[in-house]
Structure 1
Amino acid sequence: MNSASLYVRLGVLVLIILACAGVLYGSYHHGVTVTDLRWKALWADQQVLQAKGLAAATTANRTEEQRRQTAIDQVGDDAREQTKVAVADAAGSDDAGERVRAEAASLAARSTCSSSDTGAAERSKTATRAAMVLSDLFQRADKRAGELARAYDGARIAGLACESAYQALSAH
């Protein structure tokens, strides 16, 4: 065989090997590209699902927050209304108490009687002092009772508002 034909055959063989290597590399590269595209598509789908889930969770949280705020606002409005009623009731009670205290003072003042009997006059002075002390004691007790009633009403309204707020926030 001649050396020229050997080189030609060797050249053809090298070309065939290079062509096979090129085809194999092309197939490998195509497989990697297809796999990358699949993963990218899956990742994009996952991101879309996460974005939708985040939007749904945000909407649900905002709705719950608005529900709670509305409930708290209503509790506050109710407590303010109850406070107005309690203040009006206390003012009415104070007026009635003032009338009773004035009547007690009037009765104590009227208990003095002018008599020509000195013994009766002494007893009358003692009774007047006792009536005045009782009247003053009654006035103090009535005033304190009014203060305690106002404090109790305020504490009761605040406690009920707190309980209602807790129930509004925890109920869902």
Structure 2
Amino acid sequence: MTSIWLRILPYIAVALLVAGALFGTYYHGVTLTDARWQAEWNARDSRDAQAKASNEVAERTKERAYQQSINKAVQDDQRLIDQAIADTSTARASANSLRGAAGARAARLAASEASGNSCAVAASKAASHAAMVLADVLKCTDQRAGDLAEAADQARARGVTCEQSYLSLEVNQHADSD
């Protein structure tokens, strides 16, 4: 029985050596393949990180441009509002002088009705009453028109700002889709 083992033992040893060599070759191939794939994944991860960084920079640039256009629209809006307020102040000053002139005219008519003959007094009284009513109507109308003009000017300025903001947003979205 020992002689059979002694005869088979070299074959078993050769078989084990061949199996070990095959396993070593297989393991070496797997290791090389894994290393190659790992290198490709690392390169891909590096490209992805670079792409992400460049995309973030591009998006930040777009965002800054959009914010600058919004800020410019707001500044333009504030200039329009300031101009409207200045125009309103000028118009109110003009209206006040006009109302003052109408009031002075009504006061002169009232003063002239106090002196003179009775026929002229009656006609003057009617004319001065009409002038005072007209002065009051002019005063109220002018004041209301000034208030409405101020509100309309500010609403227009805000509308222009909103429109500019929308258009800049639309342009930015259109640029993003291209």
TM-score (norm 1): 0.92
Asked whether 1:50 is paired with 2:48, we answer yes
The answer to whether structure 1 residue 70 and structure 2 residue 50 are counterparts is no
The yes-or-no answer on 1:154 pairing with 2:159 is: no
Aligned partner of residue 171 in structure 1, secondary structure: helix
Tell me which residue corresponds to 2:122. Answer: 122
1:33 matched residue in structure 2: 31
Task: Tell me the alpha carbon deviations over residues 74-122 of structure 1, each in whole angstroms, 9 at most, x when there is no partner.
Answer: 1111111121111111111110110010001111111232212x23212
Tell me which amino acid in the other structure corresponds to 1:49: R
**Range that drifts further, 148-157 or 28-37:** 28-37
- 2:176 match: none
- From 97, 105, 108, the counterpart of 1:107: 105
* Cα distance between partner residues in 1 of 2:40 and 2:139: 84
Gap runs ≥5 in structure 2:
173-178
Match of 1:165 in 2: 165
Partner AA of 2:142 in structure 1: D
Report deviation, 1:62.
Answer: 0.5
Identity %: 36
2:18 paired with 1:20: yes
Aligned pairs, how many?
169
The structural deviation recorded for 1:4 is 6.0
Q: Which position in structure 1 is the counterpart of 2:134?
A: 134
Shift of 1:170: 2.2
CA RMSD in angstroms, aligned pairs only: 1.4
> What is residue 88 of structure 1 aligned with on the other side?
86
Question: TM-score, with normalisation over the residues of structure 2?
Answer: 0.89
Q: Which amino acid aligns with 2:10?
A: V
Moved more, 95-104 or 161-170: 161-170
**Separation in 1 of the partners of 2:5 and 2:61?**
83
Aligned equivalents of 1:37, 1:91: Cα separation in 2? 80
